[in-house]
Amino acid sequence: MPEGKDVKAANDMPVAPCKPAFDRVLVKLSGEAFMDSRVGYGIDTVTVQSVAEELAEVQKIGIQLALVVGGGNIFRGGAESAKGIDRATADYMGMLATVMNALALSDALEKAGVYTRVQTAITMQEVAEPHIRRRALRHLEKGRMVIFAGGTGNPYFSTDTAAALRALEIDADAILKATKVEGVYDRDPVKYPEATMFNTLTYLDVLNRELEVMDATAISLCMDNGLPIVVFNLFKHGNLRRLLLGEDVGTVVCSGK
């Protein structure tokens, strides 16, 4: 948590602890996390390598890791459709962008000594496996890191929704939403240095306050199935390891019961 920041529960009300037991988790990575900040576009291989090293380090703990990657650093369907491209077509193009990011991350992980499998919701057998739930589970059980790409394979659904869906399919203990800030704040901490970080939120808090954790469809899926979400800063070295070992890192979103 940033120095000088206060932590509070939503509505200043205490929320029951809901720390999950992490045996298998799904990490949601946005495409922007891979972006080359110098040009505001594309894949920064140095950043991808850094992310891969963090993931490789925590895999040694023995926790099964699955990943869902976005494609916003290359192409964002919703934004491009507003520029005149048919929405369904734009979304399919965005799905292809997630595959590019997945392949880049897979390559970096393999170089870091991690066995990976990329599974796509859109069949492209020359570069990746088709998404098959039971096969993904076997890969995880064998110590491989599975990277899910191509979103859900359907237009009008975001990679947030894909992350919730895949996490439920593999019976993950939680979704870990990787960001560049420490957790969820009551306002944008970049614009407002006095912003306060939440320690714990309920799903309804997120929906009612319209907090930018994940989209409403993803939050609803998690709420209906009791799947916790932890929002944390992946780019602070050691944060992911600390989180997976049970330390208080980031903001936990859960039922609060």
To the question of pTM greater than 0.85 for the whole model, the response is: yes
- For residue 148, the one-letter residue type is F
Q: Please check whether residue 45 lies inside any domain of the structure.
A: yes
CATH of the domain at 102: 3.40.1160.10
Characterize 4-16 residue by residue with b for buried, 16 or more Cβ atoms within 10 angstroms of its Cβ, and e for exposed. ebeeebbeeeebe
Residue 78 pLDDT exceeds 90: no
State the Cα–Cα distance between residues 97 and 75, nearest whole angstrom.
Answer: 6
pLDDT in the model for residue 232: 95
More confident residue, 42 or 131: 131
Over its C-alpha atoms, the chain yields an Rg (Å, rounded) of 17
Whether 2 is in a domain gets the answer no
In a domain, 160, yes or no: yes
Range of the domain at 86: 7-254
117 vs 247, more confident: 117
Whether the per-residue pLDDT at 18 is higher than 80: the answer is no
Q: Taking Cα atoms as reference points, which of 47, 94, 43, 102 lies closest to residue 71? A: 94
Confidence of residue 70 (pLDDT cuts 50, 70, 90): very high
Q: CA torsion angle for 127, 131, 137, 142 (degrees, to 10)?
A: -10
Answer yes or no: is pLDDT of 2 > 50: no
Does residue 1 fall inside a structural domain?
no
**What are the pLDDT digits (tens) for 142-190?**
999 999 999 999 999 999 999 999 999 999 999 999 998 899 998 888 8
Domains of the chain: total? 1
What is the predicted pLDDT for the residue at 111?
96
Tell whether 90 is covered by a domain: yes
Answer whether residue 19 shows pLDDT above 50: no
Residue at 137: amino acid letter: L
Give the mean model confidence (pLDDT) for residues 60-84. 84
Q: Are 168 and 225 in contact (CB under 8 A)?
A: yes
Let me know: does 97 contact 74? Beta carbons within 8 Å: yes
- What is the predicted pLDDT for the residue at 257? 58
Q: What was the pLDDT predicted at 10?
A: 53
pLDDT of residue 130: 97
